[in-house]
Amino acid sequence: MTGPSVLIIYTGGTIGMLRDPRSGVMRPMDLERLEEQVPELQSMGVRLDSVSFETPLDSSDIGPNDWLRIATMIGAHYARYDGFVVLHGSDTMAYTASALSFLLEGLGKPVVLTGSQLPIGSIRTDARENLITAVEIAAAHDDQGRPLVPEVAVYFEYRLYRGNRTVKVHAERFQAFRSPNWPELAEAGVHIRYDRAAILPHRDRPFKVHEKLDTGVGVLRLFPGIRSEWMDAMLGTERLEALVMTSFGSGNGPTDPQFLDALRRARARGISIINVTQCDGGRVEQGRYATSAAFNDLGVVPGADLTVEAALTKCMFLLGQGHRDEALSEGMRNPVAGELTLA
Ligand code: ASP
């Protein structure tokens, strides 16, 4: 068959799950059974192949080694396909999408992650539309044959988002994702309408799959009443290199000296601290309020409008490249794959 080609990579998730009739628990099924459920895939005019994780996983069990595995799979098949669809559980999809956006340097083809809230076999499933449209987007190109979406994206419930800008916002609604700080890349109605200005431009950089992530990163959510012992316990974790601290509002935290001393002790041990907001949208402006001024003095890195997912995975990526201290701070402040907006 001529026409575009797309590789489906099946990692697991609700999209391919079946309910065990005896226990009632949902477990992943294999890829062939999943494809049987969507015969329309055969008549889309797209050459489709698929590969699968040996054991499909609930995305709560997917982590850095699996992100590397998916990136390597894409790398191994990169030349042979016009686009890639990654079927993935929605729970941690935003983390995987973020990680892939950093691992796939110079990406020039679509990598579209999708999944569903209901299994593909159930009557009211959202899986069918998500899968079919994700394939269509992964195969879409302009009149010069260039892919329309040369980046890692998430497609869910009629909307396409930049992967490293997404957050899962609902545990039940079909519209489970948002990208609070970046416009949607496309909306699927009768036509799929792409917002070209929101999509990353074609880049002439060589494609390269990075193969290292360093998991010496933690996330700490500030809360009113946070105690310094608690901070010390977390910041004293062995092999901790960096901490993503989710702060209040535009990057604020307590001015309690004990809290700040705990951060100071960690900084003295060489731990980098990245400040992102725990709000749903907006950005960190360190120093705007007195309650964030001390962070500047402590060398806390302002994380601009990064999501927690993007901040965490970008830290793992940069540490994996050997960046520490100043180099890590510099790397965190500059966009690699459209993950943050410069002020
Ligand atoms: N627990 C499932 C998963 O993330 C939920 C889903 O697929 O939406 O794998």
* Tokens 């799950």 sit on residue: 17
Question: Are 264 and 191 found together in one domain?
Answer: no
Candidate of 15, 66, 91, 175 to mutate for ligand 1, largest count of ligand atoms within 8 Å of Cβ: 91
Question: Are 15 and 139 found together in one domain?
Answer: yes
**pLDDT tens-place string over residues 233-272:** 999 999 999 999 999 999 999 999 999 999 999 999 999 9
Question: Are 321 and 173 found together in one domain?
Answer: no
Residue 341 belongs to some domain of the structure: no
Give the model's pLDDT for residue 314: 98
Q: Which of 152, 183, 209 is the last residue of a domain?
A: 209
Question: Are 191 and 47 found together in one domain?
Answer: yes
Residue 106 belongs to some domain of the structure: yes
Question: Are 131 and 42 found together in one domain?
Answer: yes
Mean pLDDT, residues 75-95: 97
Residue with the smallest CA separation from ligand 1 atom 1 is 58
**pLDDT tens-place string over residues 148-159:** 999 999 999 999
Tell how far the Cα of 272 is from the centroid of ligand 1, in angstroms.
Answer: 32
* CATH of residue 316: 3.40.50.40
What predicted TM-score, i.e. pTM, was given to this entire model? Answer: 0.96
Label residues 322-334 b or e (16+ Cβ within 10 Å = b). Answer: ebeeeebbebbee
Question: Are 293 and 188 found together in one domain?
Answer: no
Question: Are 36 and 171 found together in one domain?
Answer: yes
Distance CA 1, CA 5 (A): 9
Residue 231 token pair:
């901070």
Q: Which of 209, 235, 262 is the last residue of a domain?
A: 209
Does residue 19 register a pLDDT over 90?
no
Residue 340 belongs to some domain of the structure: no
Residue 339 belongs to some domain of the structure: no
For residue 237, indicate whether it is catalytic.
no
Residue 294 belongs to some domain of the structure: yes
Q: Which of 180, 209, 238 is the last residue of a domain?
A: 209
Ligand 1: nearest atom to the Cα of 15:
7
Bridging pattern class, strands 242-247 and 272-277: parallel
Question: Are 42 and 80 found together in one domain?
Answer: yes
- Total of domains in the chain: 2
Question: Are 77 and 203 found together in one domain?
Answer: yes
Cβ distance 258 to 289 under 8 Å?
A: no
Question: Are 57 and 201 found together in one domain?
Answer: yes
Tell how far the Cα of 90 is from the centroid of ligand 1, in angstroms.
Answer: 5
**pLDDT tens-place string over residues 169-216:** 999 898 999 999 999 999 999 999 999 999 999 988 899 999 999 999
Question: Are 260 and 177 found together in one domain?
Answer: no
What is the domain extent for residue 101? 5-209
Angle (deg, nearest 10), helices 325-333 and 308-320: 140
Give the model's pLDDT for residue 1: 60
Residue 343 belongs to some domain of the structure: no
Question: Are 221 and 201 found together in one domain?
Answer: no
Give the model's pLDDT for residue 30: 66
Residue 150 token pair:
């040369």
* CATH of residue 33: 3.40.50.1170
Cβ distance 156 to 64 under 8 Å?
A: no
